[in-house]
Amino acid sequence: MSTISRDEVARVAALARIDLRPDEVDRLAGELDVIVESIARVSEVATPDVPATSHPLPLTNVFRDDVPELALPVQDVLAGAPQQKNGRFAVPQILGEE
């Protein structure tokens, strides 16, 4: 039994200002119907004793702890720079000076 009609798909498409051909309306009505049926099946299984989850497996944070450390010496940082001037990176000028 179809729960999504062609007219509903066409109306929603018109509201969203999406121009659909008749064959697209038919195809989307069928696809949306499958989605609605799938959600209904999941709703049958989702009883109050089943906890809601966003992921099927538990997730753990894979990042290390953020521990402050001393900064690198300026000489070490600038050692790999193609150009440097007065203890800073030298880059091509992109804006005119006024």
10 domain-assigned: yes
**Mean pLDDT score across all residues of the chain:** 88
CATH number (domain holding residue 39): 1.10.20
Residue 78 covered by a domain: no
Look at residue 85 and tell me if it is in a domain: no
Q: What is the number of domains present in the chain? A: 1
Tens digit of each residue's pLDDT (9 = 90 or more) over 63-73: 888 899 999 99
pTM: 0.47
The pLDDT of residue 14: 95
Residue 13 contacts residue 32 (beta carbons within 8 Å) = no
User: What's the whole-number mean pLDDT along residues 6-21?
Assistant: 95
Quote the domain boundaries for residue 21: 6-45
Task: Flag whether 37 is in a domain.
Answer: yes
Residue tagged 């997730």 (tokens):
59
Residue 15 lies in a domain: yes
Looking at the domain assignment, is residue 21 inside a domain?
yes
Distances (CA, A) of 14 to 21, 28, 32, 55: 12, 14, 16, 35
Position 75 in a domain = no
Higher-pLDDT residue of 24, 62: 24
Residue 40: inside a domain: yes
Residue 22's alpha-carbon distances to 6, 19, 32, 33, 38, in angstroms, are 9, 10, 15, 17, 25
Phi, psi of 20 (to 5 degrees): -110, 140
